[in-house]
């Protein structure tokens, strides 16, 4: 791409923002237009289900206005309505048309609305945008009974905020443990116990049949399939998301579970890339095509695309990591341990600080760390370029992830992993020890 090329970015969430910021950081001089449909400056979403719900003064803007001015990043408050690939133009919802040399789709995802009777009653909220979270925050103090449908990360974080606010809180989940799709049973159990110790009720293995309301249209409770009624005057629905792919589908791009991209995050049109929650990419850590919903993935994919557009292409191989915080307990996850066959627990779950090492094919695939950041940082290093860690090595007395990483990973490679994914990929199979 020429240095004076115009890059248009559809979506001003964390991924879209980072594409713009990294393009400028890498010296791109052509126009950069960041298009977002929410009012205000681009902001961080992770606090919305955490501190933001309890502290009105939580600052969430990613950067001040001067950041965009100084770097000549044009912020447009609109949404891309259509892409005309033949003329390389996008039409915006405000009626304007913009020409692009390269288009980055960072359209994110939308909350899934379950097809349940009563879901449009007053007092049923979701948490995706700043407006959603402000609405929830405003209602929380006057809420006597909060019900949360869905025990994923968002649901459990909101439950923690509800309990901290002194609200009687109940979490309803169809699966038999919280965060079941994301974490191992050991970690689920630990988190469930934390919530129960704070008085939160967990209704696990229960599905919702209907939401009940009064004559004013306000929600009064959640009816479960076993006939039980959970009374509630506020219901938060957190049952996952669907990627925002309509724009790509309408433009005739390849779309699977998300917008399909190659290892370099290019869509089926070489003039269009996709990053973040909306992108389905070939995942070098699992050997499958995946879509990840995380800050790390949005930011690192954005950096990967910005690097390619400014002349340093490299495939995307960053180690995935995630975090959540509930009741001052930090859960940090490195890698992707879903589908593991074996695990090793290090530390002391009863004492509140431990890590669960997850193995696929006998090799380390993911690590869940509860109040154990040293294990987490070590896991990230090992998964990026340590030699493969075998389960048998981790069951020895006194085994320590940081010590193992210290012996088998070169410290300075961390930066290289983020910026030179080719080497990092090689490191996963080569013996670096």
Partner 1 sequence: MTKIVYIQPDGTRVTVDAAPGDTVMSAALAGDVDGIVGECGGNMMCATCHVHVEESAARRLPAMTDDEDQMLACTDAPRTAHSRLSCQLPTDEPMVVTVPGSPT
Nearer to partner 1, 202 or 299 (CB): 299
Nearer to partner 1, 273 or 310 (CB): 310
Query: Smallest Cα–Cα separation from 160: which of 202, 126, 116, 119?
Result: 202
Query: Smallest Cα–Cα separation from 389: which of 428, 416, 417?
Result: 428
Three-state SS at 171: strand
Nearer to partner 1, 90 or 331 (CB): 331
271 binds partner 1 (CB under 8 A): no
Nearer to partner 1, 58 or 189 (CB): 58
Which helix (H) or strand (E) segment holds residue 248: the answer is helix 246-250
Size of the site for partner 1 (CB under 8 A): 42
Nearer to partner 1, 44 or 198 (CB): 44
Structure tokens at 72: 């000549």
The least distance separating partner 1 from the CB of residue 334, rounded to whole angstroms, comes to: 10
Check: CB of residue 241 under 8 Å from CB of residue 217.
no
Structure tokens at 86: 């033949």
77 binds partner 1 (CB under 8 A): no
Q: Which of 101, 212, 325, 420 binds partner 1 (CB under 8 A)?
A: 325
Helical spans, DSSP H, in 273-345: 295-309
Alpha-carbon gap, residue 9 to 320, rounded angstroms: 23
216 binds partner 1 (CB under 8 A): no
Letters for 34-73 (x = contact with partner 1 by CB under 8 A, - = none) are ----------x-xx---------x-xxxxxx-xx--x---
Q: Which stretch binds partner 1 (CB under 8 A): 102-110, 150-158, 220-228, 292-300?
A: 292-300
187 binds partner 1 (CB under 8 A): no
Q: How would you list the strands of the sheet with 219-224, edge to edge?
A: 208-213, 219-224, 229-231
Three-state SS at 29: coil
351 binds partner 1 (CB under 8 A): no
Q: Cα–Cα–Cα angle for 183, 234, 223, nearest 5°? A: 75
432 binds partner 1 (CB under 8 A): no
Nearer to partner 1, 20 or 98 (CB): 20
Alpha-carbon gap, residue 331 to 277, rounded angstroms: 21
1 binds partner 1 (CB under 8 A): no
Nearer to partner 1, 381 or 408 (CB): 381
Q: Which stretch binds partner 1 (CB under 8 A): 4-12, 81-89, 132-140, 414-422?
A: 414-422
Alpha-carbon gap, residue 332 to 376, rounded angstroms: 6
- Give the CA count within 13 Å in the CB-facing half-sphere of 21: 20
Check: CB of residue 401 under 8 Å from CB of residue 346.
yes
The least distance separating partner 1 from the CB of residue 232, rounded to whole angstroms, comes to: 29
278 binds partner 1 (CB under 8 A): no
Alpha-carbon gap, residue 63 to 239, rounded angstroms: 30
Nearer to partner 1, 77 or 330 (CB): 330
380 binds partner 1 (CB under 8 A): yes
Alpha-carbon gap, residue 12 to 26, rounded angstroms: 19
How many Cβ atoms sit within 10 Å of the Cβ of residue 64? 10
414 binds partner 1 (CB under 8 A): yes
346 binds partner 1 (CB under 8 A): no
Structure tokens at 181: 């799709």
Nearer to partner 1, 210 or 330 (CB): 330
Nearer to partner 1, 118 or 386 (CB): 386
The least distance separating partner 1 from the CB of residue 400, rounded to whole angstroms, comes to: 12
85 binds partner 1 (CB under 8 A): no
Write out the residues near partner 1 by the rule CB under 8 A: 22, 25-26, 44, 46-47, 57, 59-64, 66-67, 70, 295-296, 299, 303, 306-307, 323, 325, 330, 332, 371-374, 376-378, 380-381, 402, 411-412, 414-415, 418-419
């Amino acid at each position: 791409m020429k240095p004076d090329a115009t890059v248009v970015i559809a979506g001003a969430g964390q991924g879209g923002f980072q594409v713009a910021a990294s393009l400028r950081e890498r010296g791109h001089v052509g126009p950069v237009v960041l298009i977002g449909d929410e009012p205000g400056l681009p902001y961080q979403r992770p606090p919305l289900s955490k501190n933001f719900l309890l502290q009105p003064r939580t600052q969430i803007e990613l950067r001040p206005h001067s950041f965009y001015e100084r770097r000549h990043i044009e912020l447009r408050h609109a949404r891309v309505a259509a892409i005309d690939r033949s003329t390389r133009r996008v039409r915006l919802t405000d009626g304007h048309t913009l020409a692009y040399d390269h288009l980055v789709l960072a359209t994110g995802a939308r909350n899934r609305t379950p097809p349940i009777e009563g879901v449009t009653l007053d007092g049923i909220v979701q948490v995706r945008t700043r407006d959603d979270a402000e609405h929830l925050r405003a209602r929380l103090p006057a809420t006597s009974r909060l019900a949360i449908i869905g025990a994923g990360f968002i649901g459990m974080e909101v439950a923690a905020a509800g309990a901290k606010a002194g609200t009687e809180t109940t979490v309803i989940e169809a699966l038999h443990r919280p965060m079941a799709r994301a974490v191992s049973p050991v970690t689920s159990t630990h988190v469930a116990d934390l919530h129960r110790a704070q008085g939160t009720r967990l209704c696990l293995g229960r599905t919702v049949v209907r939401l009940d309301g009064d004559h004013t249209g306000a929600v009064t409770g959640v009816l479960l399939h076993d006939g039980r009624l959970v009374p509630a005057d506020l219901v938060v629905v957190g049952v996952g998301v669907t990627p925002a792919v309509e724009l790509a589908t309408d433009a005739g791009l390849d779309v699977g579970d998300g917008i399909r991209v190659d290892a370099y995050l290019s869509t089926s049109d070489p003039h269009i890339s996709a990053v973040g929650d909306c992108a389905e990419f070939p995942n070098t850590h699992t050997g499958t095509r995946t879509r990840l919903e995380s800050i790390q993935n949005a930011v690192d994919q954005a950096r990967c695309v910005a690097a390619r557009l400014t002349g340093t292409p490299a495939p995307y191989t960053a180690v995935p990591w995630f975090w959540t915080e509930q009741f001052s307990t930090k859960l940090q996850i490195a890698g992707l341990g879903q589908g593991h066959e074996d695990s090793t627990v290090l530390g002391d779950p009863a004492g509140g600080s431990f890590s669960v090492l997850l193995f696929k094919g006998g090799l380390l695939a993911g690590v869940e760390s509860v109040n154990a950041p040293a294990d987490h940082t070590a896991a990230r290093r090992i998964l990026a370029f340590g030699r493969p860690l075998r389960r048998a090595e981790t069951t020895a007395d006194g085994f320590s992830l940081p010590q193992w990483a210290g012996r088998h990973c070169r410290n300075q490679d961390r930066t290289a992993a983020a910026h030179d994914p080719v080497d990092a990929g090689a490191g996963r199979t080569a013996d670096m020890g």
